Structure 1
């Protein structure tokens, strides 16, 4: 038998945990998610945003309730194994790792699209992954410190968007919901639900708080509080930005724009602020990428401990107390994807994996006993039903890619189990 691995250290308080959650939620999603949502639902994306927020609240309360009982690295992978069995836990963890690895590559490419000169996007994206992996390698407090800086900068950029739209009078509330067939329900409920599934991608960052259960002080109190606080702040920010960009560009303008926030600023008299918004978008991508790498490392660590991934990935650095092998391997995989693929439109694929992840979380929370229950049971049932409904309304290519991803994971685990038993 090998020597026991060093333990992770509980260094994060409520504020740091909230900031890490915000760094995930108020990340590149706020700059990228409104375009596909407007394409699907027009002004109805506002209803989709409300639905996505409700689903996210149900899922967040389930995650908070489970994290209080199981304050360990791995999030829903651990909860699924403990409450439902090895297979549900594996599927949750597999969906998270594969889906979020693709999201990490997408965030790196999104950063490079804003920050790099033409022709240098992929090398710049790789450099960003390497830099942030190095920050994570040095310990969770370094991750939290850099995330604080990024979140403040991104919120400042979003404040510029709102001020540029409303102060000079570029915004027109009548554009938010146009008259006639293109109104709030003009794209039908299917389009609205599809926009909710796409916007849910933006709210999924609170999972990062739960995956770091071994690094939070007083986790039974800190994790539930941090998850709910971070989600509440993110919902408020997204609502303000959604109303703002619709009031300037209208639903058709948002759907036609690859950079709706920057275009909303340029449309007003503050066109000089456009570069500031682009810098904010680049930093938001870095913040999301930083949190993704941290969450992926912890989930990979948990899966490796149970041999659902190679066991040597379960190593914890003796000095920095981070899952260093997992983070280095993931950084290498992300860099490889960045060099050979273009995943800036991976929102639907990521949403599929995350919705399955939270379906498992809601079912696991529903099985908890009265002593460990913090929220009404109907929230877990509503969350589970909503996850299934939103998966069914995602774009067909995303659903097909997601099903292939889970089939590959099931095949991998089946083969591994047979080899281990043989």
Structure 2
């Protein structure tokens, strides 16, 4: 449960509400509930698959084993490109809270390069560091919520929906797709089937409890933000929590928000770079990425070529994208990744099933609905990048023949 909370309660809680409010206004609260339901379905599918295939690679492996090599490739490609965009979003969130105006992009690039250098030497976020990061983030959120509520900056007026200013159900679904970004990471619990006692009982319970805990935190923050700033105010700032705190008489605690956001962003960025490296290494070994990337550093034992390539791609993305673009593009790739997970879990036989098939149908339908309603720029960019991946694999297979 702690690992699940550490994967979910991160920089997303400081960043994802801005684009969600722009899409749905106060309706983002409904979008948050929809995103949590889709996340739960996806996590259950991942847990079911991880029990049958306890190996690294995640849905890239599950798709290849259950559906065929092309499905696995699409899942792996979606993970790599989606999580690369997540790295950009984490770096932008860190810079928004930690850097002065005009310096956000250089500071974001510096954060990416620093984290990559740390990962290059084989230092990744351990369970002990996860505890510290989660504690810092939860303390910052608790102080922020208390500051808004007790500082006189909140009003129920901001919680009232304004149909004339919101996008209806399309906007709500778009906000759900954007807020799904904040839940990404929950399925890391599912990969622990070989390391816990009674995994058939423990893992589903841990996923449910972690998702429930994260949802309570997100909902509390969302209500406070809307009450303090209103939907338009949340949509207009990249640092909504800090702005909400500064509205009241407790403005002196606003540095705590920056500390929490910085810790969450850097912790998530560190874990993301390591995770992409492992999946990229698995894909390169199968030639689904250039084989040049299938290298492990002889001293530090990390997939150093993949991690350096990811760092270059993230830095390039930082120069052309803003936070909304990065979150939308990340959600596009990760939702398609979990679409493959749900389809793969649907094909499992009775002896490997832990949940009924209708849950996978609901998860797959939810992924498709949220992808279809993401901002059009994210959808177009995502389709273009997937086309590049498909073209690469088609060309590689033809050369191999």
State the SS of the aligned residue for 2:153: coil
Question: Which one of the candidate residues 358, 365, 373 is aligned to 1:385?
Answer: 365
Count of aligned pairs between the two proteins = 398
Q: Does 1:341 align with 2:324?
A: no
Q: For the Cα contact (< 8 Å) 1:161–1:261, is it kept in 2? A: yes
Q: For the Cα contact (< 8 Å) 2:281–2:303, is it kept in 1? A: yes
Number of the residue aligned with 1:217: 195
CA distance in 2, matches of 1:161, 1:38: 19
Alignment of 1:103-142 (within 5 A): 103-118=86-101, 120-139=103-122, 142=125
Moved more, 139-148 or 96-105: 139-148
Q: Deviations over 1:239-297 (max 9, x none)?
A: 11111111222223222333211111111111111222122222222122122112211
Deviation at 1:98, TM superposition (A): 1.3
Q: Does 1:165 align with 2:148?
A: yes
Number of the residue aligned with 1:248: 228
CA distance in 2, matches of 1:225, 1:330: 34
Number of the residue aligned with 2:336: 356
* Distance change in 2, residues 1:64/1:291 (3 Å): same
Q: Which runs of 5+ in 2 are unaligned?
A: none
* Distance change in 2, residues 1:23/1:189 (3 Å): same
CA distance in 1, matches of 2:198, 2:304: 26
Q: Which runs of 5+ in 1 are unaligned?
A: 1-14
Question: Which one of the candidate residues 211, 218, 223 is aligned to 1:231?
Answer: 211
TM-score, scaled relative to structure 2: 0.90
* Distance change in 2, residues 1:59/1:134 (3 Å): same
Q: Does 1:95 align with 2:78?
A: yes
Number of the residue aligned with 1:63: 46
Q: Does 1:277 align with 2:257?
A: yes
State the SS of the aligned residue for 2:185: helix
Moved more, 357-366 or 152-161: 152-161
Number of the residue aligned with 1:326: 306
CA distance in 1, matches of 2:214, 2:372: 25
Q: For the Cα contact (< 8 Å) 1:151–1:287, is it kept in 2? A: no
Deviation at 1:105, TM superposition (A): 2.2
Q: For the Cα contact (< 8 Å) 1:140–1:322, is it kept in 2? A: no
CA distance in 2, matches of 1:368, 1:219: 23
Number of the residue aligned with 1:46: 29
Q: Deviations over 1:175-231 (max 9, x none)?
A: 3125x6469xx6421111111111111111224455x669x7349827655544432
CA distance in 2, matches of 1:327, 1:181: 45
Deviation at 1:111, TM superposition (A): 1.4
Q: Does 1:29 align with 2:12?
A: yes
Number of the residue aligned with 1:146: 129
CA distance in 1, matches of 2:364, 2:105: 38
CA distance in 1, matches of 2:316, 2:330: 18
